[in-house]
Amino acid sequence: MTEDATPQPAVTSRNVAKGLGTTVLARLGAVVEIVAQPLYVLMFGLAGYGLYAVLWATINLLENIFDLGMTSAMQRTVPQSASDADAAAALRTAMIFGVGPCILVAALIAIFAADLAPFLNVAERDRPLVVSAIQLFVWALPLWAFVEIATSAMRARMVFGAEIRLRIVWEQIMRLVFAGIFFAGGWGLKGLFVAHLCSLAITAILCVRLLMRYYSFADLRRGGRGGETAKNTFWAGLSILPSNIIARLFGDAPALVLNLLLPGAAGASASALFTIARKLSSVVQLVRIAFVYVMAPLAASAEREDRAQVADIYAYATRLIAAIALPLAAVLAAGSSSLLGLFGAQAHIAQGAVVILLFARALEAVLGISMPVLQVVAAFRHQLTAALLGVIVALASGWLIVGHMDELTGVTLAMSIGLVVMAGIPMIQLALNEKLHPFDHQFPTVAMRGVIVTLAAGALALLVSRLPDAIALPLIVAIAAGAIWSSLRFALPEADRASLGKTGRKLRLI
Kindly list the domain boundaries of the chain, sorted by start residue. 13-506
CB atoms within 10 A of CB 80: 18
pLDDT of residue 3: 44
Contacts of residue 506, Cβ cutoff 8 Å, sequence gap at least 6: none
- Residue pair 44/183 in contact (Cβ under 8 Å)? The answer is yes
Over range 118-145, report the average pLDDT: 92
pLDDT of residue 179: 94
Contacts of residue 495, Cβ cutoff 8 Å, sequence gap at least 6: 13
pLDDT of residue 484: 93
pLDDT classification of 480: cutoffs 50, 70, 90: very high
- Residue pair 246/422 in contact (Cβ under 8 Å)? The answer is yes
CA distance 411 to 46: 19
CA distance 4 to 85: 12
pLDDT exceeds cutoff 60 at 42:
yes
CB atoms within 10 A of CB 337: 17
CA distance 215 to 379: 28
pLDDT classification of 426: cutoffs 50, 70, 90: confident
Contacts of residue 406, Cβ cutoff 8 Å, sequence gap at least 6: 349
| 509 residue type, one letter | L
CA distance 160 to 25: 10
Q: What percent of the chain has pLDDT over 70?
A: 85
Question: Who has greater pLDDT, 467 or 286?
Answer: 467
- For 20, 103, 179, 495, the CA distances from 184, given in Å and listed in that order, are 39, 32, 8, 53
Over range 219-228, report the average pLDDT: 67
CB atoms within 10 A of CB 93: 27
CA 218 remoteness from chain centre: 32
In terms of Cβ atoms closer than 10 Å to its own Cβ (0-12, 13-18, 19+), residue 160 is buried
Q: State the number of CA atoms in the 13 A half-sphere of 161 facing the CB.
A: 7
Contacts of residue 127, Cβ cutoff 8 Å, sequence gap at least 6: none
Closest C-alpha to 133, from 62, 51, 28: 51
pLDDT classification of 502: cutoffs 50, 70, 90: confident
Closest C-alpha to 311, from 155, 156, 434, 448: 434
CA distance 378 to 160: 24
CA distance 458 to 472: 14
CA distance 373 to 380: 12
- Gyration radius of the chain's alpha carbons: 22
CA distance 46 to 265: 9
Helix ranges (DSSP H) in 45-160: 46-66, 70-77, 84-111, 113-116, 130-137, 140-156
CB atoms within 10 A of CB 381: 8
Q: Which of 63-77, 153-167, 458-472 has the lowest mean pLDDT?
A: 153-167
CA distance 321 to 427: 15
pLDDT classification of 491: cutoffs 50, 70, 90: very high
pLDDT of residue 4: 46
pLDDT exceeds cutoff 90 at 172:
no
Name the most confidently modeled range: 14-23, 56-65, 85-94, 344-353. Answer: 56-65
Over range 110-138, report the average pLDDT: 92
Helix ranges (DSSP H) in 118-226: 130-137, 140-156, 164, 175-184, 190-214, 217-222
- Residue pair 499/492 in contact (Cβ under 8 Å)? The answer is no
CA distance 262 to 53: 15
Contacts of residue 201, Cβ cutoff 8 Å, sequence gap at least 6: 143
pLDDT exceeds cutoff 60 at 6:
no
Name the most confidently modeled range: 16-20, 36-40, 210-214, 466-470. Answer: 466-470
Contacts of residue 150, Cβ cutoff 8 Å, sequence gap at least 6: 204, 207, 208, 210, 211
Length in residues, the chain? 510
**Residue 263 phi, psi (nearest 5):** -80, 155
Closest C-alpha to 290, from 19, 22, 24: 24
pLDDT exceeds cutoff 50 at 92:
yes
CA distance 429 to 426: 5
